[in-house]
Amino acid sequence: MYATASLVSAWLLIEQPGAWGPDALTESKLPTEIAAELERNADDVRILLIRNRSRIGDPIYYKGYSGGRDVAPSLVSMPMDDPSDLLDVDMEALAQGDTGTGTVVDHPIYLVCTHGRHDICCADKGRPFYRAMSAIRPEWTWETSHIGGDRFAGNLLVLPRGDYFGRLEPEDAETLASDYEANRLDLTHHRGRSIRPRLVQAAEHYLRNLEELSGFDDLAITSYRRNRDRAEIVFQGPDASFEVHVTSHRDPEPVYLTCRSERPGHGVIYEIDRVTRI
C-alpha cells in the first residue's frame, strides 16, 4: 500500500452535493459547459467534487496547494454564489502555489473517498469510515470523488499537506485524527504524500518505520537523484542524515488493481537496496 499516493500539488475542491457519475466532474449537477471548461484548463490542478450531507449553508469551493517550489502548504475557501465563479480561478497560478484570495483554512480537512459509481470498494469501505470521521470532525470532513487507489479503500486524503491513507476502518478515525492534528502520521495506514515522487514515498516509508519517525518534520529531503527505476535520496533526520537507495520493478504476482477489475494486473514493487547513516 505504501508509495501509492497520487502525484498532485494543486487542488480545486468543488462542493457538489448531488449524485456523481463514474466521471464525477462531468457527470454531476455541475453545468456541463462549466465542467468542460474546468477540465480543459486544469492540466496541473486536480479537481475533486466534495459533499457533506449534513452541512447547511451556501456552496463553497477550496483552492489548495500541498507544498513544493519553496512554497508552504496552504488552503483557502471561497463562497460559490454561482458555478460560473469557478471559471475565475487562476489555474496557472494555483499550479505554482498561489491560492489567491479566500478565507485561510488553518486546520486540516479530511476527504474520504466514497465514490461508489467509480468503484464499489469506495462505497463499501469509504462510507463507514466517513461516518466515523464526520462524527468526530463534522465540519472538517467531506466525502470526495475518486482520489486513486480504490483497492486500498477506505481511502483518506488530508489537505493541505496531501497525505494519503488507506485500508482505514471506522475504529481508526479517532487516533488518526488526533495524531494528525498533533503533526504525527499514522504510519500503519500512510500511503504517502502527494508531492513526493513514488520512489521517494517508498524510501520515506521505509526510513520512517525503521527509525520510528512519525512527526511531519522528522525527515527533510536534502538530495534526490533518479536514474529510471532507481533513486538515491538523502534525508535529514532529527539526529542524523540518511542516504537511501531504492529500486522499483513490476510485481510478477498478478493482483486485482480495482474492485471492478475483470482480470488481474501488475502493480509496482519498491525495494530498499541500502540505507546508510551519514
Model pLDDT, residue 118: 87
Model pLDDT, residue 16: 95
Which CATH number is correct for 10-181, 3.40.50.300, 3.30.750.200, 3.40.30.10, 3.40.50.11690? 3.40.30.10
CA distance 262 to 258: 9
Model pLDDT, residue 119: 81
**Sheet holding 268-277: strands in order across?**
220-227, 230-236, 241-250, 268-277
Q: pLDDT tier at 179 (50, 70, 90 boundaries)?
A: very high
Model pLDDT, residue 226: 97
Is the predicted pLDDT of residue 260 greater than 90, yes or no? no
Query: What are the pLDDT digits (tens) for 10-69?
Result: 999 999 998 999 999 999 999 999 999 999 999 899 999 999 988 988 999 999 999 998
Model pLDDT, residue 251: 87
Is the predicted pLDDT of residue 107 greater than 90, yes or no? yes
Mean pLDDT lowest among 54-58, 137-141, 274-278 = 54-58
Cell of 124: 463499501
The CA R_g of the chain, rounded to the nearest whole Å, is: 19
Q: Per-domain residue ranges for the chain?
A: 10-181, 196-277
φ/ψ bin of 3: left (φ > 0), alpha (ψ from -120 to 50), beta (otherwise)? left
Contact of 47 with 39, CB cutoff 8 Å: yes
Query: What are the pLDDT digits (tens) for 186-240?
Result: 999 999 999 999 999 999 999 999 999 999 999 999 999 999 999 999 999 999 9
CA distance 79 to 120: 31
pLDDT over 90 for what percent of the chain? 87
Is the predicted pLDDT of residue 252 greater than 90, yes or no? no
- Note the pTM of the prediction, 2 decimals: 0.95
**Ranges of H-type helices in 168-275:** 173-181, 198-211
Model pLDDT, residue 72: 97
Mean pLDDT confidence for 127-154: 96
CA distance 135 to 143: 13
CA distance 202 to 150: 19
Cell of 181: 492534528
Contact of 15 with 80, CB cutoff 8 Å: yes
**Ranges of H-type helices in 30-172:** 32-41, 91-95, 120-136
User: Higher confidence at residue 129 or residue 252?
Assistant: 129
Model pLDDT, residue 41: 93
Contact of 25 with 17, CB cutoff 8 Å: no
CA distance 126 to 70: 34
Q: pLDDT tier at 273 (50, 70, 90 boundaries)?
A: very high
Would strands 10-15 and 45-51 be described as parallel, antiparallel, or unpaired? parallel
